[in-house]
Amino acid sequence: MAETQQKKKVSGSVVITAERCKGCSFCVEFCPTDALKLSDQYNAKGYHPPVLVSQDLCNGCNICGLMCPDFAVYGFMFKKKEK
Ligand code: SF4
Ligand code: SF4
């Protein structure tokens, strides 16, 4: 059987609801891969919500979601196809 040229790899990303965020930075501080930083932008409440530093850094572990007191962020995993 011929070996496939594509490898499946689990990657991760986050969903951020910026308007819920109060800028506490827990998600940034507890992310094990330093995938998040606080944005320079303000939300309607005057806080800086998080943004991904790099998609490649996120593994979808959802520690950010577990730490967020306002349910403003969560992480998820997905299968990524690589050539
Ligand atoms: S899902 Fe995990 S790796 Fe991704 S931003 Fe959240 S804490 Fe960091
Ligand atoms: S933990 Fe939640 S409320 Fe705190 S900065 Fe992150 S997204 Fe905003």
Please check whether residue 63 lies inside any domain of the structure.
yes
Residue 5 resides in a domain: no
Q: Which residues line ligand 2 (CB under 6 A)?
A: 21-27, 49-50, 67-68, 70, 72-73
What's the CA-to-centroid distance between 13 and ligand 2, angstroms?
A: 16
Q: Is residue 1 part of a domain?
A: no
Identify the burial level of 11 via C-beta atoms within 10 angstroms of its C-beta, where 0-12 means exposed, 13-18 middle and 19 or more buried.
Answer: middle
Q: Give yes or no for a contact between 72 and 20, defined as CB atoms under 8 angstroms apart.
A: yes
Question: Do 14 and 74 form a contact (C-beta atoms < 8 A)?
Answer: yes
What pLDDT, in 10s, does the model give residues 37-79? 999 999 999 999 999 999 899 999 999 999 999 999 999 999 9
- The residue whose CA has the least distance to atom 2 of ligand 1 is 61
| Assigned domain for 45 exists | yes
Considering the entire predicted model, what is its pTM?
A: 0.88
Centre of ligand 2 to C-alpha 79, Å, is 26
Among candidate residues 56, 61, 72, 54, the one with its CA nearest the CA of residue 30: 61
**CATH number, domain with residue 65:** 3.30.70.20
Establish if 40 belongs to a structural domain. yes
Domain range for 36 is 14-82
Residue 55 in any domain: the answer is yes
Examine residue 9 and state whether it is found in any structural domain, yes or no.
no
